[in-house]
Copies of this chain bind each other. A is one copy, B any other.
Amino acid sequence: MNEPVVVRNVEQPPFEVVAALEKCGVTTVHEAQGRCGLLACYMRPVFSGSTIAGSAVTVSLPPGDNLMIHVAVEVCHAGNILVVAPTSPCAHGYFGELLATSLRAHGVKGLVIDAGCRDTRALTEMRFPVWSRAISSQGTVKGTLGSVNVPVVCAGALVEAGDVIVADDDGVVVVRRAVAREVAATAEQRVRKENATRERLARGELGLDIYSLRKKITELGLKYI
């Protein structure tokens, strides 16, 4: 049970859907899919200012051992995002500049890892985006197998290979491949609506009026004194 496997062929989400989700960003996508799929908020970007979306290549690996990241590189495609989850909590620096160089050479857009990363200055300079739970120079060995492209729980969220990952300064969200198109459409609609609302708010209109909340607060019994 739980034999180590690498699943080679993963159905990819449509390119234009991924592009649309990337444009909307984490918070809007999270709302658009009914407030689910958010990774724990301890996942923080190594440097700020990046927004990426891509199809997940998942890696399940043991604590303190990054052999399977090397295995995963070979099955990555351009546009993928690597999602790495240790089988038990571990803040070691699994990932650094050399692996980032390798992933970039294969077109991978970024890394989401529920563990530590290192070489943060180099990662920042080369603008390879990483979301991690810790920064740690404490390295790993290359001695034990895990699996690639099996379902993983990463920072509290279930991620399957081919799901869409969206990550930015607000955090990381996963969108099931099956609903990605629908979520992207809802998210884009939401962006349009928010643009209109923003203009009204910038003019000084109140949310109380825009969202028709005055009747509600009166019914609930709010008193002004």
Contacts and interface: CB of A to CB of B under 8 A. Distances in A.
A201 to B, nearest CB: 4
A201 B169 contact: no
The size class of the interface chain A forms with chain B is 35 or more
A183 interface: yes
Interface string A66-103: 01001101100000000000011111110011110110
A143 to B, nearest CB: 7
A225 B36 CA distance: 21
A170 B101 contact: no
Given A27-B119, A48-B124, A120-B170, 19 more contacts: A1-B33, A2-B33, A3-B221, A4-B220, A4-B221, A4-B222, A6-B225, A8-B225, A27-B96, A30-B139, A35-B88, A38-B136, A41-B116, A41-B135, A62-B64, A67-B216, A70-B213, A88-B92, A98-B197
Interface of A: 1-8, 25-27, 30-31, 33-36, 38, 40-41, 44, 48-49, 51, 62-64, 67, 70-71, 73-74, 87-93, 96-99, 101-102, 104-106, 116, 118-121, 124, 134-139, 142-145, 151, 153, 156-158, 168-171, 173, 179, 182-183, 194, 197-198, 201-204, 206-208, 211, 213, 216-217, 220-225
